[in-house]
Amino acid sequence: MGTPLFVVHGGPGYPHNGLNNTAELAENGYPVVLYDQLGCGLSDRPEDLSLWTVGTFLEELDALRQHLGFKKVNLLGQSWGGSLVAEYCLRYGENIDELILHSPLIDSKLWVEEADRLKDQLPDGKGERMRELELTGDTNNDEYKDLSDLFDDTFVLRVKPKPQDVLDSLRGAGLPVYRTMWGPSEAFATGNLKAWSIIDRLKYIGQRTLLISGKYDEATPKQMQIIADNISDVKWELFENSSHCANLEEPEKYIQTIASFLSSTIAR
């Protein structure tokens, strides 16, 4: 049996369903573990908002590894999940063989700056309207939700209609987690991750790393280049026809890319 692959979903607060197709990687001879982080999906949903911190989810991930009895694992983290597995490598690096970062958040301030720039690509001044509503704090209404949905359709998932797994993820969302840690939309941070950054610590990640992102991704090339420049052993694959969810936008290439990366590890 090969080294298990733990798949860590994004959000925070959106369950694993949108990454269900990564289970196909189990055909390569190693277990694939998908789970819902605390506060969303089928996991418990405590009402204590003080739980929603990076530390909680680091402890949860390590507890899961220990519970399943795995000494070493590979990690695949998408979006916020990429942030989490990067933090995990820095705290529990002895437990990790290989690392896969799929469109990770690495610096909240930079993420929001890039999202603000991407808003200019939205049609009919809709990006400017998003900014106006954010500046006045008027984000809890249908107009802002519609604008946020347009941003997501352009830079998060460009597949229409949305796959069933994505609809299931949306239904299983733990919005208190998302809003406490991030904010009202992908493009605007107001939560406790607002000042979070791992940029200065990327150089301490020693694991062999695969970085995946999309050409139209909210995790923009500017952000991903920082990872490529700071992790010593990293390979960056840019998916030309994807935004933030390459596993759903170019699924065959996505699975093949990861399988090839992990297979080359086994062959070393």
pLDDT at residue number 177: 98
pLDDT at residue number 2: 85
Give me Rg for the CA atoms of the chain.
18
The active-site residue out of 79, 83, 103, 213 is 79
Q: What is the pLDDT of residues 187-208, one digit of tens each?
A: 999 999 999 999 999 999 999 9
The active-site residue out of 36, 107, 152, 217 is 217
For 86-233, list the strands marked E by DSSP.
96-102, 208-214
CA atoms of 39 and 54, how far apart (whole Å): 13
Catalytic (active site) residue 79: yes
Residue 50 has pLDDT above 60, yes or no: yes
**What is the chain's mean pLDDT, rounded?**
96
- Pure H helices in 23-141: 54-68, 80-92, 108-118, 126-135
CA atoms of 108 and 188, how far apart (whole Å): 9
pLDDT at residue number 265: 56
Q: What is the pLDDT of residues 170-192, one digit of tens each?
A: 999 999 999 999 999 999 999 99
Q: What is the mean pLDDT of residues 67-72?
A: 96
pLDDT at residue number 268: 46
Q: Has this prediction a pTM greater than 0.85?
A: yes
Backbone angles phi, psi at 2, to 5 degrees: -80, 175
The active-site residue out of 9, 16, 102, 244 is 244
Count of C-beta atoms within a 10 Å radius of residue 223 = 21
pLDDT at residue number 31: 94
| Domain 5-108+164-183+192-267 -> CATH class | alpha beta
Q: Is 110 exposed, middle or buried (0-12, 13-18, 19+ CB in 10 A)?
A: middle
Q: What is the mean pLDDT of residues 201-226?
A: 98
Within 13 A of 135's CA, how many CA atoms are on the CB side? 7
Catalytic (active site) residue 153: no
